[in-house]
Amino acid sequence: MTSPFTENEITRKLTEVLEYDFRVSPAEATHTQIYKALSKIVVNYLKEKRSMFMTDCNSKGRKQVYYLSMEFLMGRSLKTNLYNLGMQDEVAKALKKLDVKIEHIYEEEPDAGLGNGGLGRLAACYLDGLATCAFPATGYSILYEYGIFKQRIIDGWQTELPDDWLPGGRAWLVPVPDQAIEVHFDGEIYEKWEQNYHSVSHVNYKTVNAVPYDMYVSGYDSKGVSKLRLWSAESMSFDMNMFNQGDYAKAIGANNIAHSLTKVLYPNDNHLEGKALRLRQQYFMSAASVGDIVMRHMNVYGTLENLHEKVAIHINDTHPTLAIPELMRILLDDCGYDWDKAWNIITNTFDYTNHTVMAEALETWDVDLMQRILPRIYAIIVEINNRYCAHLMEVTGGDSEKVTRMSIILDNRVKMANLCCAASSSVNGVSKLHSEIIKDSVFHDQYTVTPDAFKNVTNGIAYRRWLLSSNQGLTNLLTECIGDGFKKDASKLADFKKFATDKSVLDKLAAVKLANKQAFAKYVYNTTGTKLNCNGIFDVQVKRLHEYKRQQLNAMNIIADYIYLLNNPDADFVPKTYIFASKAAPGYYMAKQIIKMIWCIGEELKKNPKLNEKLAVVFLEDYKVTLSEILMPASEISEQISLAGTEASGTGNMKLMLNGALTMGTYDGANVEIHEAVGDDNIFIFGMSTPEVNQLKAEGYNPEKIYNSHAVIKSVLEKMYKGINGATFEEVANSLRHADRYMCFADFDSYRGTQAKASETYKDKYLWNKMSLINIASAGIFSADRAVTDYARDIWKLI
């Protein structure tokens, strides 16, 4: 792939932009100014390229996908876009002439943290995959002024700081104020019958202006460019209508909604927040996006009759569900369609991905709240539900209990997942196991009625970000062994398997890992002052902090090791460093306790230097995409230890595998498919399976009983009660003893035994590196390119 610009052209453009925007010469420019100028050059190029790409797609009448998600965890853009465009070397050379290191320029960019964790990162990975595979795609979300909070750990406690990312992040945003969309909130509706013609008017509403800001995402070696359209709420400069009616307070009221609407991302992962402001955010994003989709479609085709033939609208989890009644509203109220014709378009346009089966994350909204904020939308949902339930009564032969369970409105709540199922042409889970679980549990009734709607697409990652642009050493080794076909086609990574018994390649692989560990240790030393022992295993658990993900199980095993080493100071013990990084939702008390406990274990271990050589714990602050890019290449064990049946897929597991870490995992989410890809011998699987979990729950799980009869578990909890580094953790211990919702005790022996097995395996360097090599070589199917191609073929019908 050749760079679109030569080194000289880059120098010339850079000089021009620096002169025009900042009135400085390249020699005088600060790193910030160079970062902004370079970003501008890339943005302008991508904008042009996107326009050509879409003109071509539209001239061919290609169907396109709109991906609606309340979260896009984009991370940084400059490096990945330069890399995907093949410009990185030319830009590096141009900067070198100015005596500037490109790596320093990358450091100027803040992460665009417009998401919480896996769900938001998935959406970002898909924009990359869609561009690379040249599918016409647009993402829609909110331009949060503050993204996911910055985390500081002070004395072991998480504290949250605002993520004011726009000063640096704005360089990637193109404002398009002339494509703003009006969104209406509150007010009342009036129904009218005029000569048999039914019409509805919505009055006294408050208007918020949705102003789009576009971010472009380059594909790799592709003519495709994805666009992420982020909506910012801006007040109408003045609501003249209301002002003229003398209702000054209401005119200002709209102003107030706009003021707070897109301020901040809700920091909950896998947990719903039933606040009015969150509902307003969801409708704001959904209505602005649907308005935009309709306008664009009209511009190309002049009619909405064929919308479902040319457009797929994807709903990433239930957060954007209101797009469904909003499109219905436009078809009925604005375009005068009759109900059945409108509903037919709807049910052939929308698709929905489920991301969790956990009850506390399933979105339901209070009927009164929705009716107050979105009166017309609520009325449409009521009508959808009436017709849907009547239809279900027919197809179920009058099974009223089943129809009640499937009802969209029940007990004064609107059940968003049920609305999605009613309106979507497909419903998919995000790993094989999860897609089976949703058919057996949350959507079992729906599955019995429309079995063909249920699909699976296993998640994937933008693998170039975590391999080619994060792990230079491994990329070079791969290229040396198998050529560079894997850079465009991840399935070619499988060619690396041929080298699984080649000792010289295994030595090189070991050398790459050691160098990456040393580089990471240096980073940790520079940022925290903590020294890591690079001879030991780097065992990594990085992900949001959640009891279902069971960081506490990991901590229990570490405490057990600690107690063991105190009693057996001279034991033969493979040195190990446990690396954690994780944000807790600010209101999640137990999660914050677990962070503090892990931090305290690390601190107490430091006080025993001899023991600390063998066992160390570091808790890194502020887990985010950029930190994951630094960490993955140095990782050796990937902790994926959720209780079976709780993690829908996981994608961190894929990033780690790709970088040669061995999975220590339960039979959950995509771990099942990682196991399938690498085989029994190249993964450490432990713990109960989903059916075993279900059976134990049915029998009645009694953690206290295990506690009373298990000396090691007892000693671990005693340590929590007695104190670690001067702090006690009775709430963590009590919650395990008395509830243990995620069954850590039941899996403890299996986990601890499997950890011991991993340490034993590590002593055989060739065996370990062979296992690592097979993991890398088997990671191809977890590419986002594969995942979006599955969606394009099986769900969106783009091909």
Ligand X SMILES: *Cc1c(COP(=O)(O)O)cnc(C)c1O
Q: What character string, x for contact with ligand X (CB under 6 A) and - otherwise, covers 514-553?
A: -----------------------------xx---------
Catalytic-role residue among 76, 206, 513, 549: 549
The rounded distance, in Å, linking the Cα atoms of 134 and 128 is 10
Catalytic-role residue among 355, 415, 434, 719: 355
Q: At what angle do helices 503-528 and 472-482 cross, to 10 degrees?
A: 170
> Tokens at residue 535, please?
């001879």
Q: How far is the CB of 117 from ligand X (least distance, A)?
A: 4
Interface region with ligand X, contact rule CB under 6 A, candidates 416-424, 528-536, 646-654, 672-680: 646-654
* Helix/strand/coil for 271: coil
Catalytic-role residue among 329, 402, 544, 614: 544
Interface region with ligand X, contact rule CB under 6 A, candidates 9-17, 215-223, 648-656, 718-726: 648-656
Q: How far is the CB of 101 from ligand X (least distance, A)?
A: 25
CB closer to ligand X, 314 vs 655:
655
Q: At what angle do helices 711-722 and 730-738 cross, to 10 degrees?
A: 150
Q: How far is the CB of 265 from ligand X (least distance, A)?
A: 13
Residue 135 belongs to what H/E stretch? none
Catalytic-role residue among 329, 402, 517, 543: 543
User: Which residue(s) pair with 229 in the sheet?
Assistant: 140, 214
Query: Binding of ligand X at residue 50 (CB under 6 A)?
Result: no
Query: Binding of ligand X at residue 651 (CB under 6 A)?
Result: yes
Cα 207 to Cα 58, 238, 367, 585, distances in angstroms: 32, 10, 22, 32
For Cα atoms 273, 279, 283, give the angle at the middle one, nearest 5 degrees. Answer: 145
CB closer to ligand X, 219 vs 650:
650
Q: Residue from 322, 389, 558, 625 that binds ligand X (CB under 6 A)? A: 625
> 549 catalytic, yes or no?
yes
The 3-class secondary structure across 205-232, one letter per residue, is CEEEEEEEEEEEEECCCCCCEEEEEEEE
Helices (H), 623-670: 625-631, 652-658
The rounded distance, in Å, linking the Cα atoms of 483 and 104 is 30
Interface region with ligand X, contact rule CB under 6 A, candidates 21-29, 191-199, 387-395, 650-658: 650-658
Interface region with ligand X, contact rule CB under 6 A, candidates 126-134, 235-243, 645-653, 731-739: 645-653
Q: Are 540 and 638 in contact (CB under 8 A)?
A: yes
Catalytic-role residue among 655, 719, 770, 786: 655
Query: Dihedrals φ, ψ of 663, to 5°?
Result: -80, 125
CB closer to ligand X, 509 vs 585:
585
Q: Are 40 and 123 in contact (CB under 8 A)?
A: no
Interface region with ligand X, contact rule CB under 6 A, candidates 116-124, 210-218, 249-257, 346-354: 116-124
Q: How far is the CB of 77 from ligand X (least distance, A)?
A: 15
Q: Residue from 118, 129, 224, 780 that binds ligand X (CB under 6 A)? A: 118
The rounded distance, in Å, linking the Cα atoms of 430 and 93 is 42
Q: How far is the CB of 80 from ligand X (least distance, A)?
A: 13
Q: Which residue is nearest to ligand X (CB)?
A: 652
Cα 653 to Cα 394, 474, 650, 662, distances in angstroms: 44, 18, 6, 9
CB closer to ligand X, 625 vs 706:
625
Query: Binding of ligand X at residue 26 (CB under 6 A)?
Result: no
Q: How far is the CB of 583 from ligand X (least distance, A)?
A: 8
> 280 catalytic, yes or no?
no
Q: How far is the CB of 654 from ligand X (least distance, A)?
A: 8
> Per-residue b/e over 473-499, b at no fewer than 16 CB within 10 Å?
bbbebbeebbeeebbeebebbbbbeeb
Q: How far is the CB of 197 from ligand X (least distance, A)?
A: 52
Interface region with ligand X, contact rule CB under 6 A, candidates 248-256, 551-559, 621-629, 788-796: 621-629
> 374, 365, 46: which is closest to 218 by C-alpha?
46
Interface region with ligand X, contact rule CB under 6 A, candidates 382-390, 602-610, 647-655, 761-769: 647-655
Q: Residue from 33, 235, 628, 778 that binds ligand X (CB under 6 A)? A: 628
> 223 catalytic, yes or no?
no
For residues 580, 581, 585, 588, the Cα torsion angle rounded to the nearest 10 degrees is 20
With CB under 6 A as the rule, give the number of residues binding ligand X: 13
Query: Binding of ligand X at residue 110 (CB under 6 A)?
Result: no
User: Which residue(s) pair with 184 in the sheet?
Assistant: 207
CB closer to ligand X, 532 vs 625:
625
The rounded distance, in Å, linking the Cα atoms of 559 and 536 is 18
Q: How far is the CB of 362 from ligand X (least distance, A)?
A: 19
Q: Residue from 250, 439, 517, 624 that binds ligand X (CB under 6 A)? A: 624
Interface region with ligand X, contact rule CB under 6 A, candidates 4-12, 47-55, 126-134, 651-659: 651-659
Interface region with ligand X, contact rule CB under 6 A, candidates 505-513, 622-630, 675-683, 756-764: 622-630
Q: What character string, x for contact with ligand X (CB under 6 A) and - otherwise, covers 119-158?
A: --x-------------------------------------
Count how many residues are written for the chain.
799
Cα 480 to Cα 180, 493, 506, 512, distances in angstroms: 50, 12, 13, 13
What would you measure as the largest C-alpha separation in the chain, in angstroms? 93
Q: Are 780 and 490 in contact (CB under 8 A)?
A: yes
Other C-beta atoms closer than 10 Å to the C-beta of 74 total: 29
CB closer to ligand X, 147 vs 650:
650
Reading across the β-sheet that carries 615-620, which strands appear in turn? 615-620, 576-581, 537-542, 637-640, 662-665, 684-685
The rounded distance, in Å, linking the Cα atoms of 729 and 716 is 11
> Tokens at residue 422, please?
């009613």
Q: How far is the CB of 466 from ligand X (least distance, A)?
A: 9
CB closer to ligand X, 378 vs 623:
623
> 544 catalytic, yes or no?
yes
The residue written with tokens 């089976």 in the block is: 436
Query: Binding of ligand X at residue 650 (CB under 6 A)?
Result: yes
> 655 catalytic, yes or no?
yes
> 727, 463, 494, 515: which is closest to 601 by C-alpha?
727
The rounded distance, in Å, linking the Cα atoms of 731 and 45 is 55
User: Which residue(s) pair with 456 in the sheet?
Assistant: 429
The rounded distance, in Å, linking the Cα atoms of 11 and 77 is 20
Q: Residue from 26, 110, 117, 429 that binds ligand X (CB under 6 A)? A: 117
Q: Residue from 496, 623, 667, 742 that binds ligand X (CB under 6 A)? A: 623
Q: How far is the CB of 775 from ligand X (least distance, A)?
A: 16
The rounded distance, in Å, linking the Cα atoms of 265 and 273 is 11
> 23 catalytic, yes or no?
no
Q: Which residues are part of the catalytic machinery?
A: 355, 543-544, 549, 651, 655
Which residues would be at the binding site for ligand X (CB under 6 A)? Answer: 117-118, 121, 543-544, 623-625, 628, 650-652, 655
